[in-house]
Copies of this chain bind each other. A is one copy, B any other.
Amino acid sequence: MANKTAPDSPPGSAGGTPTRRRSERSRRAILDASLALVGEVGYDKLTIEGIASRAGVGKQTIYRWWPSKAAVLLDAFTADVDEYSAQGLPDTGDLAADLKLVLRATADEFNDPAFQAPYRALAVAGANDAELSRAFVDRLLEPGIRVYVDRLRAAQEAGEVAADVDTRVAAEMLLSPFSQRWLMRTGELTYDYVDTLVDLVLRGLRPGS
C-alpha cells in the first residue's frame, strides 16, 4: 500500500532496493494511452483494459505498477505539468498586472478541452479517495498555490501588500473562486472575471486598508 500513487522510478534511477527491471517503453505507452483515452471517452468509461489494449500492453503490467486508473492518470498528468510551476510568477513590481497576466493564461489553459478531462477526473476522484486526494494536492495543487503565496509575500516585502495579511488565505481568495467556477461550472472563466477578481482581492490587501 506504500507508494500507492507513486510507482517505482523507471530503470536507471537508484532506489533503496536494487532497481527493478522495468520497461520504460511500456510505461510511456500506458501514460500516453490513458491521457488520450480519458479525453476520448471520459473518466467514467476509462478502463484499465482499455488502456492496456490501446497501449499494446498486458493488464498485469498496469496492475503491477499502479493501484488504480486514477493513479495512472495522476502520473500521466503530472509529467506534463510540473515544470510549469517551477519557474514562479513574474514580478514586474506591479502585483495586479502580474496576477492578471498569469490568471488570464491559466483561464485559457482551463478552457482547453485537452486539459479539462484529466484534471476534472483527478479533482473528482480525489474527493472520494483520501489517499489519492493527498497525492493530487501535494503534486499539483499545492505547488500551484505556493507560487502565488511567494509572489504575494514578495509584494508584502515591497510594501505593496499590508504586512498583517495572511498570504496563504489571500492566495486562496484569489485561486479558489477561480477553480471553483471552473470545476462546478458555475460561470465562465473570462478575462473580465479574472480582472474583477484580482482587483477586488487586492483592495483588501493594500496597506492601510
| A residues apposed to B, CB below 8 Å | 42-44, 120-121, 123-130, 133-134, 136-137, 141-142, 145, 165-166, 169-170, 172-173, 175-181, 183-186, 193, 196-197, 200-206, 209
Contact = CB atoms under 8 A, between A and B. Distances in A.
Contacts of A203: 203-205, 209
Quick one: copies of this chain in the complex?
A: 2
A90 to B, nearest CB: 23
Contacts of A42: 128
A137 B185 CA distance: 8
B176 A180 contact: yes
Contacts of A184: 123, 126-127, 133, 136-137, 141
Contact of A179 (B124, B130, B180): B180
